[in-house]
Amino acid sequence: MHRHAQKTEQESNVRVEKSSNASSTSATPPSASNTSATSSIPGGPWPGPMVAKTGDEYYTGSLHHTVEWCKFLSGCALLAVAGPYVALQIFMCNMWDQFDQRIIGLIPLIQKLSHAMAPSTRFIVKHDADGFIFHLLVWLGAILPAWFFYELYRAATVGFSWQRILLYNIIRIGPMYMNFMFVYVMCHKEGHNFGNLFAKKFNGHAPFGLKYVFNHWAGMFHGVLPGTFTYSHLYNHHKYDNDERDVYSTAYRTRDTFTSWVTYLPEWFAYASNVSTLRAFVQEKRYGERCIRWWGGGRWEGVTLGRLCGVLCIVYCC
């Protein structure tokens, strides 16, 4: 019995020793060869959004840190200039939406009218269910631009009135940003459909057809420059899908800090103005892209006046 007790005690000690060794092994951090994580990305004026991996030396270096700080300061400047006006615009668009929902009911009435007229305009569009697109085009591509040019003429001949400009921009954006939303949705849809939203006999290139009419005309009155959705969105964003070559990627920044959003503002501005897209295409030696030829003075699908309108819209509307 004594021998059996000694044997049991020895086995127990072995089990304890093995358990201790296993605990110490698991507590030991893995070597660099066993993991790709090397350090935390400093990023800029915010916590590092992720751990760096082998090959990410640029994102852990001082150059990236300096660039991010410059973007943050540029974002602060953009916010200081445009922030107060945008805040007022957001407030008034929301108030208009509440006023319309509770008292006037204009938007539901317009929606019912468009639904009733859709069968009469189906022959203009490619798909029967898209008759409403023509109604949007009349409002966004004819009436609002006509109003814009009237206000531009009046400002040049009578004088600048900030009250009239504010009213125009509130109507342009729409209640709860409805007009702005439709422009971006239609530009996005048009880009992915390669401009084929209208029936074949109406879908020729400008100025005699409606191909890319939202991207090349209506969008410019809402800050969408030609090429943003038709080239940058398709051939950069969807090609690289939010990796480091995507010109408006948000993947490597935290999305729950205000400073990250401020730092992202100049990146979005560069994308919206096609600057970062042109730079990316040049770096890839994709000189044949129409986006580059458009801004470089080449063919513009038929209408040269759009360039002037694009510049005027940037200065006057945005």
Q: Is the pLDDT of residue 144 over 90?
A: yes
Query: CA 275, 279, 281, 286 torsion: positive or negative?
Result: positive
Q: How crowded is residue 286: how many other Cβ atoms within 10 Å of its Cβ?
A: 14
Concatenated DSSP letters for 90-138?
A: HHHHHHHHHHIIIII-HHHHHHHHHHHHHHHHGGGBSSGGGTHHHHHHH
**Average pLDDT score, the chain:** 76
Is the pTM higher than 0.75? The answer reads: no
pLDDT for 21 equals 47
Which regions of 178-281 does DSSP assign to beta strands (E)? none
Q: Give, to the nearest 10 degrees, the angle between helix 162-173 and helix 144-157.
A: 170
* Distance in angstroms (rounded) separating the CA atoms of residues 189 and 204: 17
pLDDT for 55 equals 59
Contacts of residue 121, Cβ cutoff 8 Å, sequence gap at least 6 = 131, 132, 134, 135
Q: How far from 162 is each of 146, 168, 172, 173, 309, CA to CA, in Å?
A: 19, 10, 15, 16, 20
CB 228 within 8 A of CB 272: yes
139 alpha-carbon distance from chain centroid: 24
Q: Is the pLDDT of residue 198 over 60?
A: yes
pLDDT for 207 equals 66
* Distance in angstroms (rounded) separating the CA atoms of residues 140 and 264: 29
Average pLDDT value for residue range 159-166: 88
Average pLDDT value for residue range 266-289: 81
Q: Is the pLDDT of residue 73 over 60?
A: yes
